[in-house]
Amino acid sequence: MSERYYILFENYEQGLALHDLLDEAGVMNRIAPAPSAARGTLCCGMSLLVGPDMIDRAKEVISRENAVYHSIVSMENPLQPMRDRYC
């Protein structure tokens, strides 16, 4: 299993703003549902999914742009690459 980083937000506007900033900086990221184990008291179920090879660059963009976010959590990828293969 590989590690993934989820950037969590209090609202989707914060998430979309950071998504645009990361795209402009060439940081690969994907809009994804926030993992249920990491949601806690957040009212927003959106997150940005960033791979381990891009998380340092994402943090640099967040710092440089003073982007608003709630937290960054690291989780193992629970998906199995062969999960839907039967032959």
Sequence-ordered alpha helix ranges (H) in 1-87: 12-24, 36-39, 55-65
3-state secondary structure of 74: strand
Please report the pLDDT score of residue 46 as a whole number: 92
Please report the pLDDT score of residue 30 as a whole number: 97
**Which residues, other chains included, contact 17 with Cβ-Cβ below 8 Å and sequence gap of 6+?**
67, 68
Q: Could you give the C-alpha distances from 58 to 4, 38, 46, 54, 84, in angstroms and in order?
A: 13, 19, 17, 6, 32
Tens digits of residue pLDDT in 18-74: 999 999 999 999 999 988 876 666 668 899 999 999 999 999 999 999 999 999 999
Q: Could you give the C-alpha distances from 61 to 19, 67, 80, in angstroms and in order?
A: 11, 8, 31
- Would you say residue 86 lies in a domain? no
CATH number at residue 53: 3.30.70
- Would you say residue 26 lies in a domain? yes
3-state secondary structure of 58: helix
DSSP state of 79: -
- Domain hosting 13: range is 3-70
- Would you say residue 76 lies in a domain? no
Number of domains, the chain:
1
Tens digits of residue pLDDT in 35-45: 887 666 666 88
